[in-house]
Amino acid sequence: MKFTILAAVAALLAAVSAQSDPAACTLCLQSSLQSLPACTGVEASSSNPAYAACLCASLNGAWIDACSGDSQCGAAIATFRASYASNIQAAGLSCANGQASFTPLA
């Protein structure tokens, strides 16, 4: 279960990048996410509490806007942005009471 969150992120990235240049889109999204203060230098791992905090900091989706250009992710990024927070939280990310964690899904 702890890998569900990573699978959700990967699936979202794959859906968007398949409609544009996959490498450019994925690199842009990774770079943009890592530019958030809570995400700088954080290893993407569902067992890493810092990664949970990073994802909680990313839920507003503003960082995704940097990748909307045609040479990055193109128009498909709007769908990704609209569903990002709900998909990540549905996969088990909890951002309650200032505590970020990955919760097992029932």
| 10 band by pLDDT with thresholds 50, 70 and 90 | low
Does a structural domain hold residue 99?
no
| 1 band by pLDDT with thresholds 50, 70 and 90 | very low
41: left (phi over 0), alpha (psi -120 to 50) or beta: left
Q: pTM of this prediction?
A: 0.75
Does a structural domain hold residue 104?
no
Q: What is the pLDDT of residue 56?
A: 92
Does a structural domain hold residue 63?
yes
Does a structural domain hold residue 87?
yes
11 pLDDT above the threshold of 70:
no
Q: Domain of residue 22: give its range.
A: 4-94
What is the C-alpha separation between 23 and 46, in angstroms, rounded?
23
Q: Name the domain count of the chain.
A: 1
Does a structural domain hold residue 42?
yes
pLDDT per residue over 24-34, tens digit each?
A: 888 899 899 99
Does a structural domain hold residue 29?
yes
Does a structural domain hold residue 30?
yes
Does a structural domain hold residue 15?
yes
Average pLDDT in the 39-61 region? 89
Q: What is the pLDDT of residue 39?
A: 93
